[in-house]
Amino acid sequence: MSPPKAKRRKPLPAPGEWTFELIEAYHAEIDRVAREFGLDTYPIQVELITSEQMMDAYSSVGMPVNYHHWSFGKSFLQTEKGYRRGQMGLAYEIVINSNPCIAYLMEENTMTMQALVIAHAAYGHNSFFKGNYLFRQWTNPDAIIDYLIFARNYLTECEERYGEEEVELLLDSCHALMNVGVDRYKRPAKLSLTKELTRQRERSEYLQSQVNDLWRTLPAQASRTHAVEARRFPPEPQENLLYFIEKNAPLLEPWQREVVRIVRKISQYFFPQRQTQVMNEGWATYWHYTLLNTLYDEGLLTDSFMMEFLHSHTNVVYQPGYDEPWYRGINPYALGFAMWQDIRRICEAPTDEDRQWFPDIAGSDWRETFDFAMRNFKDESFVAQFLSPKVMRDFRLFAILDDDKEARLKVSAIHDEAGYRRVREILSDNYNLGSREPNLQVWDVDVRGDRSLTLRHQAYLRRPLSGDSEEVLKHVAHLWGFAVRLEVANEDGSVSCLHECRRERRKHDAPQA
């Protein structure tokens, strides 16, 4: 930190009520300090909105524009109820991974909270969005808003043409598959509005022709018998159900494929966020804490401002213990904040333990280490790489093994010399989406027979699917148009059929335009 240039400057006014001038003044100071720390961000756009608009954005998956769907109305009602009861957490901040980066400030907040949100969202999250490899590879901030506008207009058009109900049923089915509608390993193409618009029509026509070819029933009988054994479709199991359906479902109309694609694209867009919660929230929390404290050291913030800020900050990073009634798992804000602080400590004042555990970063330049860690990790690898024994001790972490074949739970590791590595490994696995969410694949399509689709759940550690899966299967069948089966491949190699959803939807039954 550079030594304060103008020691004890006149503090910024800190009234309860904010004004546009004050927001600008605070922002200018926060911006100055953030630049001194070398935070690299997208340009910032601060938008002031009412609580109702904030709740609306909350319920439309945090986006300023989105298509209409009843489920957003439901979550609006839920959010509204939570807000009325004062249950919501951090000061209602929403930040959108777009360029320019849009940060929402809520009208009802005090000046202190506005400054906190600016530092947290507009500098913390913003720099993370710009730097982290997942976001760089998987999202295109220049185009997301345009794409959402395109999506909303397209769906409105579909509703006018095919009826609201028809579109709603389709969206229901797509939403049910959002979790399994992402490419985990293949990187998606970047979005662009103009490209989407111009290519959408030709794509739909081309797609339909491809699908038709796949389902061609004309081949001569003779060749058919030979092909049966040899051909398998899909040649490799597919992890992205929505993508597979978009490309191969036999009965979907072109517009329906486009809707599937829209849901898939949006789902894919949020995929990085689900994998970087601890890192991202911790990073933003670390920076609002550091930026505002720096300003306080410079004498720019009053004591009353700091009291309110710290009150709010401590609420955000509170981590209840496992036996407290409000325990809801590990608080990503708390863990992330602690880890980033700890990394800085390891860089600046390493102990012998740190030198032994983190020979690479102990004593290094903390800014460089931060930058490296922020850019190149996600929660799973971040924990595996940087969770130090000290943080494990501070949080008093312990692992519980719950095996449904055992009568009792077992404490498999705790925060001691023998358990550090094991605890870290398990926590890392807890953040691994691959093991947290069921592994489902498109296994087989009976191309020459009844056209049925078989999904296979690769069971991991005997974890079963929840009861919902039968409902989800109905949605798959709705999209696929023919029978759908769900199999479980157990770890001992046996395969059993879990559910089957028979459905014959002939072309003429399909709602016509």
Please, which of residues 247-286 interact with another protein by CB under 8 A?
A: none
| Cβ closest to another protein, residue 108 vs residue 303 | 108
What is d(CA 381, CA 263) in angstroms, rounded to the nearest whole number? 28
- Kind and range of the H or E run holding 152: helix 144-162
The 3-state DSSP class for residue 223 equals helix
Question: Smallest distance from the beta carbon of 337 to another protein, in angstroms?
Answer: 14
What is d(CA 365, CA 347) in angstroms, rounded to the nearest whole number? 6
* Residues between 153 and 182 with contacts to another protein, criterion CB under 8 A: 164, 168, 172, 175-180
Give which of 383, 387, 366, 379 is closest to 290, Cα–Cα: 366
Count of residues making up the chain = 513
Whether residue 456 contacts residue 488, with contact meaning beta carbons closer than 8 Å, is answered with: yes
Using CB under 8 A as the binding rule, whether residue 513 contacts another protein is answered as no
Q: Which of 25, 48, 306, 510 binds another protein (CB under 8 A)?
A: 48
Whether residue 471 contacts residue 176, with contact meaning beta carbons closer than 8 Å, is answered with: yes
Question: Smallest distance from the beta carbon of 418 to another protein, in angstroms?
Answer: 6
Using CB under 8 A as the binding rule, whether residue 111 contacts another protein is answered as no
- Span of 68-76, 131-139, 232-240, 293-301 interacting with another protein by CB under 8 A: 68-76
- What does the block give as tokens for 252? 């979907």
Which 8-state DSSP code applies to residue 94? E
Q: Which of 38, 73, 359, 434 binds another protein (CB under 8 A)?
A: 73
Question: Smallest distance from the beta carbon of 429 to another protein, in angstroms?
Answer: 7
Q: What are phi and psi of 455, to 5 degrees?
A: -100, 145
Give which of 260, 241, 263 is closest to 472, Cα–Cα: 241
What is d(CA 263, CA 155) in angstroms, rounded to the nearest whole number? 11
Using CB under 8 A as the binding rule, whether residue 427 contacts another protein is answered as yes
Q: Which of 3, 6, 17, 43 binds another protein (CB under 8 A)?
A: 43
Using CB under 8 A as the binding rule, whether residue 100 contacts another protein is answered as yes
| Cβ closest to another protein, residue 77 vs residue 307 | 77
Question: Smallest distance from the beta carbon of 446 to another protein, in angstroms?
Answer: 22
Secondary structure (H, E, C), 79-91: HHHHHHCCCCCCC
Using CB under 8 A as the binding rule, whether residue 130 contacts another protein is answered as no
What is d(CA 68, CA 428) in angstroms, rounded to the nearest whole number? 37
Question: Smallest distance from the beta carbon of 453 to another protein, in angstroms?
Answer: 15
* Helix intervals (H) in 85-132: 111-117, 126-131
- Span of 249-257, 374-382, 424-432, 477-485 interacting with another protein by CB under 8 A: 424-432
Using CB under 8 A as the binding rule, whether residue 423 contacts another protein is answered as yes
- Kind and range of the H or E run holding 176: helix 164-176
What is d(CA 43, CA 374) in angstroms, rounded to the nearest whole number? 19
What is d(CA 286, CA 339) in angstroms, rounded to the nearest whole number? 9
| Cβ closest to another protein, residue 172 vs residue 444 | 172
* Residues between 186 and 245 with contacts to another protein, criterion CB under 8 A: none
Region of 143 on the Ramachandran plot (φ > 0 left; ψ -120 to 50 alpha; else beta): alpha
Q: Which of 284, 295, 317, 472 binds another protein (CB under 8 A)?
A: 472
Question: Smallest distance from the beta carbon of 464 to another protein, in angstroms?
Answer: 5
Whether residue 263 contacts residue 179, with contact meaning beta carbons closer than 8 Å, is answered with: no
| Cβ closest to another protein, residue 4 vs residue 320 | 320
Using CB under 8 A as the binding rule, whether residue 19 contacts another protein is answered as no
* Residues between 320 and 359 with contacts to another protein, criterion CB under 8 A: 320-325, 327-330
Using CB under 8 A as the binding rule, whether residue 60 contacts another protein is answered as yes
| Cβ closest to another protein, residue 352 vs residue 417 | 417
Using CB under 8 A as the binding rule, whether residue 95 contacts another protein is answered as no
CA 50-88-14 angle, 5° bins = 60
Question: Smallest distance from the beta carbon of 270 to another protein, in angstroms?
Answer: 14
Question: Roughly what angle, to the nearest 10 degrees, separates helices 469-480 and 164-176?
Answer: 130
Question: Smallest distance from the beta carbon of 88 to another protein, in angstroms?
Answer: 14
| Cβ closest to another protein, residue 232 vs residue 462 | 462
CA 463 to chain centre: 23
Using CB under 8 A as the binding rule, whether residue 384 contacts another protein is answered as no
What is d(CA 122, CA 119) in angstroms, rounded to the nearest whole number? 6
By rule CB under 8 A, what string of x and - marks binding of each residue 385-414 to another protein? ----------xxxxxxxxxx--xxxxxxxx
Question: Smallest distance from the beta carbon of 435 to another protein, in angstroms?
Answer: 9
- Span of 247-255, 286-294, 434-442, 494-502 interacting with another protein by CB under 8 A: 434-442
The strand pair at 439-445 and 453-458 is best described as antiparallel
Using CB under 8 A as the binding rule, whether residue 47 contacts another protein is answered as yes
Using CB under 8 A as the binding rule, whether residue 419 contacts another protein is answered as yes
